[in-house]
Copies of this chain bind each other. A is one copy, B any other.
Amino acid sequence: MVKFDFTLTIHYNKNGIFFGKVIRVESREISQAVIRRLPRYYRYLGELLESGVERISSNDLSKRMKVTASQIRQDLNNFGGFGQQGYGYNVKYLYTEIGKILGLENDHNFIIIGAGNLGQALANYGSFEKRSFVLKGIFDVNPTLKGMTIRGVPVRMMDELKDYIRENDIEIAVLTIPKNVAVDVAKELVEAGIQAIWNFAHVDLNVPDHIIVESVHLSESLMRLSYNISRYNEEHGGN
């Protein structure tokens, strides 16, 4: 657990002995490590809400999430006094506050580029609507798909892309197209004023710093899986 509440100064002497000083630093920023964990808290709190749980103690949440109760308390203390000794956390309040931090209280208009299987899977992905992501358009280069609708949203051709983004206040583009075209399409998106790209193409997009890119590199995830299998087999004498 990293919380940037301290600065450390460290000095070494030649025997490898080190010494230094811990200084408490005032910081209201929530650390990146906590931010990275928020979506998971949000998911668990959402499930608790759905099953009608109004309050939960850090210990109970700890058992469910398989995180230590002390980490949960440290993390959730960032939001200031939501937990009450003996009463636990107010699930709805915490869920709402974390949702606000994650920017989920505002509507986000988005489009999907690439109407293949993955594009269709994402278009049909229920989580979007629940979390105020509004599918406004689907684009593809394949003329046989023109006019086909997915969840009531018609597939448009790429020549309409730029105007459509500008006229419909589109914030996010989801890229589910092959890597050899993704880089050029990303360029078009930037020119049209897109703010963020959710990238499923197997390539690092080369866009200006102010464009937010979140990449889902499936093959890298698969390689981590494969690495772990391989390591397990080595340690346990498998193939």
- The answer to whether B21 touches A17, judged by C-beta atoms less than 8 angstroms apart, is yes
- The answer to whether B219 touches A106, judged by C-beta atoms less than 8 angstroms apart, is no
Tell me how many residues of A have a C-beta within 8 Å of chain B.
66
Contact with A133, one of B118, B122, B214, B222 (Cβ below 8 angstroms): B222
Question: In whole Å, how far is A134's beta carbon from the nearest beta carbon of chain B?
Answer: 12
Interface 9-residue window, one of A53-61, A77-85, A157-165, A223-231: A223-231
Q: Which of A156-210 contact B (CB under 8 A)?
A: 171-172, 195-196, 198, 202, 204, 210
Question: In whole Å, how far is A140's beta carbon from the nearest beta carbon of chain B?
Answer: 14
- The answer to whether B104 touches A226, judged by C-beta atoms less than 8 angstroms apart, is yes
- The answer to whether A227 touches B101, judged by C-beta atoms less than 8 angstroms apart, is yes
A48 at the interface (CB under 8 A from B): no
- Chain A positions within 8 Å of B, measured between CB atoms, are 12, 16-24, 35-36, 38-40, 42-43, 65-66, 101-104, 106, 108, 116-118, 120-122, 124-125, 127-128, 131, 133, 171-172, 195-196, 198, 202, 204, 210, 212, 214, 216-233, 239
Having A18-B22, A104-B223, one finds 16 other A-B pairs with CB under 8 Å, namely A35-B227, A39-B217, A42-B223, A43-B219, A43-B220, A102-B230, A108-B226, A117-B118, A117-B121, A120-B121, A131-B226, A133-B226, A198-B225, A210-B232, A214-B228, A216-B218
